[in-house]
A = this chain, B = another copy of it.
Amino acid sequence: MFEHLLNPRSIAVIGASSDERKIGNVIVKNLIYFGYGGRIYPVNPKNEIIYGHKTYPSLDSIEDEIDISIITLPATMVPDAVESCVKKNVKYVIAIAGGFSETGERGAELERMILDKIRGTNTRVIGPNTVGIYVPRSNVSTALTLPERTALPGDGSIAFISQSGALGLLTMDTIAEFGTGISAFINLGNRIDLSENELIKYFEDDEKTRSIVLYIENFKNGRDFFNVAKETVMKKPIVVLKSGRTSEGARAASLHTGALASNDAVTDGALAQAGIIRAYSETELMDYGKVLAYQKPLYGDRIAIVTTAGGLGVITADYLVSTEKGVGMKLAVISDENKKRIRDTIVPFGSAENPIDLTADGSTEQYSRVLEILNSERNVDGIIVYALFQTAKVDETLIDVLEDNMKGKPMVVGILGSKMGKRMILEAEKRGIPAFPSMERTVKAIKVLYMRGRYLKRRYEDGEQGS
């Protein structure tokens, strides 16, 4: 299921055009730009060559099997195009155009016509009113992005399902900055057929995917969603940014995607019960997806902080323990024995008390030894490390130290700064180390590991088995 959506062997573009201003042109151009290696079939009654690909007058004039058919035609022409896809036994149809139920009853009628066409067939529809999919593993992007304006992330382990296309693209453009990758992006659009529920189920078994994040304005089928998610979270973490949580937001959502308002307290309770982490912004959504993809769950809330800048230790301690402006966890109390070992490792004016301050004289070697000690300390559940590359005695091999420590206790890394800091955060990404560019984001990330651990523990205690 969905294998040929994410790894299509052939893609037809219905409404392909040699006119550069047309959607049907940009789609073909982007397939080539992103390096799609399968077979491309532009479909167009005129006999043309589009970016080196000869056009076909109709789908059935193509002898190949078609995995994905992208319909770039306007809304009123989509039902007929879908019919031709069904006849051709196309596996997935991506219907780009807007102008369906989001615009009123006439558009809703077009959606019903499409559903009639595919009922009882093997053809599945993504959308309509969608930017489609972006799948780094197979170099497929059906989105109408301008490459000189929008960056898309590389291959990674976060599966991203979004009801809104623009929100999805903007969020991906933003995370590309720090090198975070995704396993796949799917924009549900009006979601007349393919929904988040089936996709979650699919990503549960997708080898590349280690966490699933969703932007949702309303659930297609809330009960199913929570049932599916509750099963999936035992294998893979799920993060949801569910908007329309206020009456003002819900009203905006109804104008945006036609989402019906729901009681947010009920949603919130259901999300918690299903073990889904809730995000409140695009930043949290992707940060949480990332830390859960890269790092194991945290089963206790006693955190050690390691820094070479004392001020970061103080601010982080505040944010870690505060329940009002913070995440309400605990600052671990290091045993006297290990405190002594730390004191023997760091400079005399450093602090062996948690937050552990190596000072600006701290070295890569000291980071390494302190992390080793903390990994042996029974009063420590998880570790926040500020890997600060600005001082002379710290060098790039600190990244190797952090990579080694991925085998140890759950650890989240903060890396500040736009020069060497930025470079090393990109390096951390390459190695799957969860690193964040601010203190707040670092602390929130470790909290999320703990939320997941706490939830899994409860489910295990209830006698369930995860993997």
Interface residues of A (CB under 8 A from B): 98-99, 102-103, 145-146, 148-151, 162-164, 166-167, 169-171, 173-177, 215, 217, 241, 243-246, 248-249, 251-253, 255-257, 280-284, 308-315, 317-322, 325-326, 331, 348-349, 351, 353, 355, 357, 360, 388-390, 392, 416-422, 437-440
Q: Are B416 and A322 in contact (CB under 8 A)?
A: no
Q: Are A173 and B349 closer than 8 Å at their CB atoms?
A: no
Closest chain-B Cβ to A139's Cβ sits at a distance in Å of: 18
**What CA separation (Å) do A166 and B149 show in the bound complex?**
36
Contact of A151 among B102, B171, B175, B419 (CB under 8 A): B419
Given known A-B contacts A390-B150, A438-B281, A418 and B315 have beta carbons under 8 A apart = no
CB neighbours of A215 from chain B (8 A) = 311
**Of all chain B residues, which has the CB nearest A386?**
B170
A102-B349, A349-B98 as given contacts; A312 in contact with B166, CB under 8 Å: yes
Which residues of chain B come closer than 8 Å to A314, judged between CB atoms? 217, 243-244, 249, 252-253, 256
**Residues on the B chain within 8 Å of A283, using CB:** 438-440
Tell me whether B421 and A349 are in contact (CB under 8 A): no
Let me know if A255 and B353 touch, CB within 8 A. yes
In Å, the complex CA distance between A163 and B310 comes to 11
Q: Is the CB of B177 within 8 A of A360?
A: no
- Report whether A103 and B349 are in contact in the complex, using a CB–CB cutoff of 8 Å: yes
Task: Give complex CA distance A437, B284 in Å.
Answer: 13
Cα(A322)–Cα(B248), bound, Å: 9
A sample of 15 inter-chain contacts (CB < 8 A) reads A102-B349, A103-B348, A145-B390, A162-B311, A167-B309, A170-B390, A170-B417, A171-B416, A174-B421, A252-B317, A253-B314, A256-B313, A256-B357, A280-B440, A282-B315
